Each structure stands twice: as structure tokens, then as C-alpha cells.
Amino acid sequence: MFDIRLVSKAALADARFGQSGAIGPKGPGVVLSALPETSLLSLLAAPDAVALLERLAALATHEQAQLRSAGYAQWLLIGAVGTSLDLVAIEAALGRDAALVDLGHARVRISIAGPSAADALAKGCAIDLDPEAFPPGRSAQTLLGHIGVHLTRIGPEAFELIVMRSFALNLWQDLLVLSRAFGVDARAATDL
């Protein structure tokens, strides 16, 4: 007999969705989307690893995954939606050159996009988000308010946040507040 029944549930299932804030005639300045939960791997290079970035890039292509820089000699590998990363194959390919940690159930991804997305993020984060300083493809591990986030610019007006699961709902609420002045459309993962 179990006292508590464990239920598999998306971290942002109970988040507040819908439109709010000062939406102007051009529509919401910010579109916030809970991204589908995928497999996610943290990779840390061994000190004597050789050409690891090139090998990781090849692995990412092979797995149809996305590779993100996560600081000195650290990366995140994000599996495609609806599939699982082949951990056995990845481990075999990298051998002792990298330490792997499966963060699939430990992190949640949020998309923040729209003409005012950078302005909303700038209220809570110290990264210079000018496209010259932080172009598409660039990532940074940093703080948004008091919450640690991994931030990536996906496009000129689109960003991805990766946050620890237990902070996801708190971050979502913060993002709604930061975006209120621009008008915000907050979408559930199932709406994508």
C-alpha cells in the first residue's frame, strides 16, 4: 500500500495561461510558451578531452538533438520532442572524455518570444541582450531575478529558458509580471 500515489504531470500544468496585461493594437508584446518536456543531458568535458565540441556537434546531429553551451567545458544536449536520447550510444561515443548527467526530469524549458521579449527579460537579468552582444545561438547560464536560468537566444525575438523543475512555476509567474507592461499571451505546451 502506498500513502501517496505518484502521478506523472508536467511542471507547468497548473501555470496561469491566456492573455493578460497591456495588450496593444499590434497584439501581445510577449508570447510565453511552456515547451514540451524532452530528454536533456548535461555534459562536462574531462580535462584532457580532445576535439570534444566537434564530436558533440556530430552526436547532436545524429540524435536530432540541440547542443547548447553551458559555461566553460559544459554543454546541454536537448533531445527532440517525442523521442529519447540514446544514452547508451552517447556514453559509448564519448567514453571517458565527458561526464554525463541525465537532467530530463530535472529541468523545464520555457520559450519567451515576441517584439518585447528582450525588454521583458532585461528587467530581471544582467546579460546584455542587444543582438550584437547576444546573437541567435548564444547561450548563458545566469540569474533571472533570484532564479538560476540557462538562457539561449533562438532568434532575433525569441529566447529559451531552461530552469530547475521546482522553480519553473515561480519563474513562469515572474515572467508574467515582467511581461505585463507589454501585454502577454501565455500558452500551454499542448497548444504548440
Partner 1 sequence: MASLLSCPHCGTRPREEFTVRGDATLIRPAADAPQSEWEAYVFLRDNPRGWHKEHWHHTGGCRRWLVVERHTVSHAIRSVVDAGMRA
- Please select the residue that binds partner 1; options are 20, 42, 66, 142, rule is CB under 8 A: 142
Write down the least CB distance from residue 27 to partner 1, Å: 32
Helix, strand, or coil (residue 174): helix
Is 170 a binder of partner 1 (CB under 8 A)? no
Stretch in the footprint of partner 1 (CB under 8 A) among 3-11, 33-41, 137-145, 151-159: 137-145
Is 42 a binder of partner 1 (CB under 8 A)? no
Is 126 a binder of partner 1 (CB under 8 A)? yes
Is 163 a binder of partner 1 (CB under 8 A)? no
- Please select the residue that binds partner 1; options are 49, 141, 164, 187, rule is CB under 8 A: 141
- Please select the residue that binds partner 1; options are 66, 74, 119, 165, rule is CB under 8 A: 74
Q: Would you say 21 and 183 are in contact if contact means Cβ atoms under 8 Å apart?
A: yes
Burial of 107 (0-12, 13-18, 19+ CB in 10 A): buried
Go through the chain and tell me how many residues it has.
192
Is 48 a binder of partner 1 (CB under 8 A)? no
- 33 vs 139, which CB is nearer to partner 1? 139
Q: How far is CA 78 from CA 7, 67, 107, 124, 128, in A?
A: 24, 6, 11, 25, 25
Q: Tell me how far apart the alpha carbons of residues 88 and 85 are, in angstroms, rounded to a whole number.
A: 9
Stretch in the footprint of partner 1 (CB under 8 A) among 33-41, 75-83, 100-108, 140-148: 140-148
Phi, psi values for residue 165, rounded to 5°: -50, -45
Q: Would you say 31 and 187 are in contact if contact means Cβ atoms under 8 Å apart?
A: yes
Q: Would you say 174 and 127 are in contact if contact means Cβ atoms under 8 Å apart?
A: no
Is 20 a binder of partner 1 (CB under 8 A)? no
- Please select the residue that binds partner 1; options are 8, 48, 72, 88, rule is CB under 8 A: 72
Q: Which residue stretches of 5-149 are H helix?
A: 52-62, 87-94, 117-122
Q: Which residues contact partner 1 (rule: CB under 8 A)?
A: 70-72, 74, 126, 140-143, 148
